[in-house]
Chain A
Amino acid sequence: MKEDLNDQDYYLEVEAPHVTKHWKPGQFVIIMTHEKGERVPLSVATINGGRVGMFIKKLGKTSVELYREFRVGSSLYAVSGPLGKPLKLEDYGTVVLASDAVCGHAEQLGLAQELAKLGNKVISIQTFKTEKEVYPEKYLTTKYADEHYITTLDGTAGYKGHYIDLLRELVARREVKAVFAGGALASLKKLAEATAGLDAKVYALVRTIMVDGTGMCGSCRVRYNGVIAYACRDGPWFDARLVDWDDVLRRDARFKKIEKIALEKYLAR
């Protein structure tokens, strides 16, 4: 099943019972479209019986191809997982979930449900550029959170600003004990700075370029607390304030140039 979330993001649900059996919040999957495809790590948004639902942004060749050429009845070449470490969640008290892009929005759904189950008060903040980009209600974290906020950068819907701005306001007047944030890496770097003195656990989803996803290649390596960690094996969730974000941002740009070529070639086909 495939559905538009907005102009660039879409929801894709695939049958993969071998992945859903042991999946826990925090874990991700790797998919391949076809034999010649890349191994693409994706966050899990929903688990429906034996089906995995993902949020995907039409960004590179694979995501565009997947959107254009796969429909109900198509088969992915490979779905592997669950990968990564499950998050060890507990009853923290008041927890904030924050995100501003596909992977973060996806992770919120599972996290909100699990955290609520453990007794937390869950506050969800989801940031979009503008009102037009806000996801349909059923794909937002609204119904799983005790409080739910939409923020838009231009103020056309909800709070005007980024999740970091709202988070700053929240922590000033409420006792937030844990933050789980995902989405754009540059925002996560700012989040780490914004929460530097905060007496709370702050976890970030460190999205990196992976190949195998099982700790075999080191493509996803991250400078964490001074040593090298593998996002696929030791993450993908890390204490945001111990991550070397400059390192993460630099390594994320590794293939930017060459990936543009792949997309252009595909679109010109």
Chain B
Amino acid sequence: MVKKRFTPEVLSVSERLRSFGEVVLGYDYETSVREASRCLRCPLWFAPCSKACPLKVKVPAFLEYIVKGDLEAAARKVYEDNLFPSITGRVCPQEWFCEGNCVVSKIGESVSVGLLERYVGDYARENGLDEKILAEMVSKNSGVKGRVAVVGSGPAGLSVAGWLRLRGYEVVVYEALHRPGGVLAYGIPEFRLPRSVLDHELKKIENLGVEIRLNHVVGKTVLLSELTSEYDAVFIGSGAGTPKLLDVPGVDLNNIYTANEFLTRVNLMRAHLFPEWDTPINVGKTTVIIGGGNTAMDAARVALRLGSKPVVVYRRDREDMLKTARRDEVLHAEEEGVEFKYYLQPVEFIGDENGFVKAVKFEVMEPLNELDQRGKKKIVGTGRYVEIPADAVVIAIGLEPNRVLMEESGLRFNEDGTIAVDDHLMTSLPGVFAGGDAIRGESTVVEAMADGKRAAEEIDLYVRRKKELA
């Protein structure tokens, strides 16, 4: 067997720095067949890849169809569990899920499940198969089983909306922004998830009969209580929308952005195309990015494409960074020339006479021989300090749930601000379900989609039971 995985085409580094074009170009047909042939075809009851997948995609089964050259059958197999293979195939941290558990990885490199899923998803999309498969799935229902309101059109909301439609429900999605997609639209840059792909996936869900109402902030434009009285059930997928800021002096200086602001200005508002698009962004010669997760990688690579030199500063080391950031994004950032500095913790932002940041002061940290709960090395300060010049700073140290909904909704929250749910994903309000980052804090796109899928099942059960009782 082939121990090494087949590598996909990628955009050259020089090309990347000139555009926001997609970096990984994916497999062609021949390579995907060769790569899929590396799968040992574990039986489904055992397959660790499938078990590790939050969506439980039947990996060996769809790979087998690729090997046979039957891409439509492969797509059908994927769609049984995952409505968005073109998205998950691109943004999942596969090394933590399917690929990280692949049996082949014991003797060589794991099978590139992500790239294969993406290949199948793209093939279905480019050949109109996705709409056909979904139309067949939805036609199995007769009549309307109920009406459900969904709050937020990110991964969790889109997923629950899709799965509920397939179960015969009418679904209306309420989105606060002027464009649907949630974090897929404002957070993930185009070089990882092209707009055309996202737009197609959104259209696909709308064509399925899901209505998306834009510019509707639930809790402000529409109240949760109105939704609960108008619909049979409500799903909240409002995400972890509020950025955490550092509590250190100078954090209010100009050109210090939260990652959310920085990425939203570019991804959603297209500030890189200013002034053709109206929203501006300021960077300068050097952009210091604080953090070590996917968002930090995204911000660094966006800064690079805006013509600034990015320096990612993380308070631990590279090994620990790979526990929070997708491996491919770290590798791509490194080969694109993003500079990384480790074991530094910010203690102060230093400004110029006009109130713009000009440098960041860090304390040098060192590891202890001890792990924290998440398996990362504990660190302590050394009392030594360094200064790094910066014309702009992006703080990418995480998010917490958005509190807009909280006010007067009657929902019960956990201490960390996430919405409290029971084993059925139901909140403290009967008939109101929740999933994704709103209940998890910061998590992944695929886990949000898995919540959406499971919530559809729970909502279906709930509504049917409610109607039987009535």
Docked complex: A211-256 residues within 8 A CB-CB of B: 211-212, 214-219, 221, 223, 228, 233, 244, 247, 250-251, 253-255
Given contacts A218-B258, A251-B252, A22 and B278 within 8 Å (CB-CB): no
B265 contacts which chain A residues (CB < 8 A)? Answer: 211
* A38-B269 in contact (CB<8A): yes
Answer yes or no: A19 CB below 8 A from chain B CBs. Answer: yes
* B178-A228 in contact (CB<8A): no
A265 to B275, CA, bound (A): 8
List the one stretch of A43-51, A73-81, A106-114, A142-150 in contact with chain B: A73-81
Report A63 CB to chain B, min CB distance, Å: 11
* A81-B220 in contact (CB<8A): yes
Report A37 CB to chain B, min CB distance, Å: 5
Docked complex: A1-38 residues within 8 A CB-CB of B: 18-19, 21-22, 27, 32-33, 36-38
* B264-A217 in contact (CB<8A): yes
* A223-B252 in contact (CB<8A): yes
B282 contacts which chain A residues (CB < 8 A)? Answer: 254-255, 258
A79 contacts which chain B residues (CB < 8 A)? Answer: 215
Q: How many residues of A contact B (CB 8 A)?
A: 46
A265 to B269, CA, bound (A): 19
A32 to B215, CA, bound (A): 11
Answer yes or no: B261 CB below 8 A from chain A CBs. Answer: yes
* B279-A211 in contact (CB<8A): yes
Answer yes or no: A259 CB below 8 A from chain B CBs. Answer: yes
Report A251 CB to chain B, min CB distance, Å: 6
Contact of A37 among B252, B273, B278 (CB under 8 A): B278
A251 to B354, CA, bound (A): 10
Beta-carbon nearest neighbor of B243 in chain A: A218
Given contacts A211-B261, A215-B403, A39 and B220 within 8 Å (CB-CB): no
- Return the CB mask of B316-351 against A: 1 if under 8 Å, else 0: 000000000000000000000000000000000000
Contact of B217 among A21, A61, A83, A259 (CB under 8 A): A83
Beta-carbon nearest neighbor of A223 in chain B: B252
- Return the CB mask of B247-282 against A: 1 if under 8 Å, else 0: 000011111011011001100011001111111101
A247 to B254, CA, bound (A): 9
B145 contacts which chain A residues (CB < 8 A)? Answer: none
B33 contacts which chain A residues (CB < 8 A)? Answer: none
Contact of B176 among A38, A62, A80, A253 (CB under 8 A): A80
Answer yes or no: B216 CB below 8 A from chain A CBs. Answer: yes
A194 contacts which chain B residues (CB < 8 A)? Answer: none
Report A118 CB to chain B, min CB distance, Å: 20
Answer yes or no: B214 CB below 8 A from chain A CBs. Answer: yes
B258 contacts which chain A residues (CB < 8 A)? Answer: 217-218
B177 contacts which chain A residues (CB < 8 A)? Answer: 80, 212
* B241-A221 in contact (CB<8A): no
Given contacts A38-B279, A228-B245, A18 and B221 within 8 Å (CB-CB): yes
Q: How many A-B residue pairs have CB under 8 A?
A: 126
Given contacts A218-B260, A218-B261, A258 and B274 within 8 Å (CB-CB): yes
Beta-carbon nearest neighbor of B214 in chain A: A78
Answer yes or no: B13 CB below 8 A from chain A CBs. Answer: no
Answer yes or no: A262 CB below 8 A from chain B CBs. Answer: yes
- Return the CB mask of B376-393 against A: 1 if under 8 Å, else 0: 000000000000000000
Answer yes or no: A261 CB below 8 A from chain B CBs. Answer: yes
Contact of A32 among B178, B242, B354 (CB under 8 A): B178
B31 contacts which chain A residues (CB < 8 A)? Answer: none
B280 contacts which chain A residues (CB < 8 A)? Answer: 255, 258-259, 262
A62 to B269, CA, bound (A): 14
A196 to B186, CA, bound (A): 42
Answer yes or no: B355 CB below 8 A from chain A CBs. Answer: yes
* A219-B279 in contact (CB<8A): no
* A211-B220 in contact (CB<8A): no
* A61-B274 in contact (CB<8A): no
A35 to B180, CA, bound (A): 13
A19 to B176, CA, bound (A): 12
* B274-A262 in contact (CB<8A): yes
Answer yes or no: A82 CB below 8 A from chain B CBs. Answer: yes
Answer yes or no: B402 CB below 8 A from chain A CBs. Answer: yes
B178 contacts which chain A residues (CB < 8 A)? Answer: 32, 39, 77-78, 80
* A19-B221 in contact (CB<8A): yes
- Return the CB mask of B174-190 against A: 1 if under 8 Å, else 0: 00111000000010000
A85 contacts which chain B residues (CB < 8 A)? Answer: 407
A21 to B222, CA, bound (A): 9
A250 to B352, CA, bound (A): 12
Report A87 CB to chain B, min CB distance, Å: 14
Report A31 CB to chain B, min CB distance, Å: 10
Beta-carbon nearest neighbor of B219 in chain A: A214
Answer yes or no: B404 CB below 8 A from chain A CBs. Answer: yes
B257 contacts which chain A residues (CB < 8 A)? Answer: 218-219
* B215-A78 in contact (CB<8A): yes
* A221-B404 in contact (CB<8A): no
A261 to B274, CA, bound (A): 10
A19 contacts which chain B residues (CB < 8 A)? Answer: 221
Report A71 CB to chain B, min CB distance, Å: 20
A21 to B221, CA, bound (A): 8
Answer yes or no: B223 CB below 8 A from chain A CBs. Answer: yes
Report A263 CB to chain B, min CB distance, Å: 9
A80 to B219, CA, bound (A): 13
* B261-A214 in contact (CB<8A): no
A216 contacts which chain B residues (CB < 8 A)? Answer: 186, 241-243, 260, 264, 402
Contact of B220 among A82, A218, A247 (CB under 8 A): A82
Beta-carbon nearest neighbor of A265 in chain B: B275
- Return the CB mask of B235-248 against A: 1 if under 8 Å, else 0: 00000011101000
Beta-carbon nearest neighbor of B242 in chain A: A215
* B278-A38 in contact (CB<8A): yes
* B264-A211 in contact (CB<8A): yes
Binding site for B on A (CB under 8 A): 18-19, 21-22, 27, 32-33, 36-39, 61-62, 77-83, 85, 211-212, 214-219, 221, 223, 228, 233, 244, 247, 250-251, 253-255, 258-259, 261-262, 265-266
Q: A33-B278, A218-B260, A228-B252 are in contact. List 6 more A-B contacts (CB 8 A).
A: A80-B215, A214-B241, A218-B243, A223-B252, A250-B354, A254-B254
- Kindly list the 5 A-B residue pairs having the minimum CB-CB distance in the complex, ordered from nearest: A250-B355, A78-B178, A217-B261, A218-B258, A80-B215
23 chain-A/chain-B pairs, Cβ below 8 angstroms: A18-B215, A19-B221, A22-B221, A36-B273, A78-B178, A78-B215, A81-B217, A82-B220, A211-B264, A211-B265, A211-B269, A212-B177, A212-B186, A214-B241, A215-B403, A216-B264, A218-B258, A228-B251, A228-B252, A244-B252, A251-B355, A253-B355, A261-B275
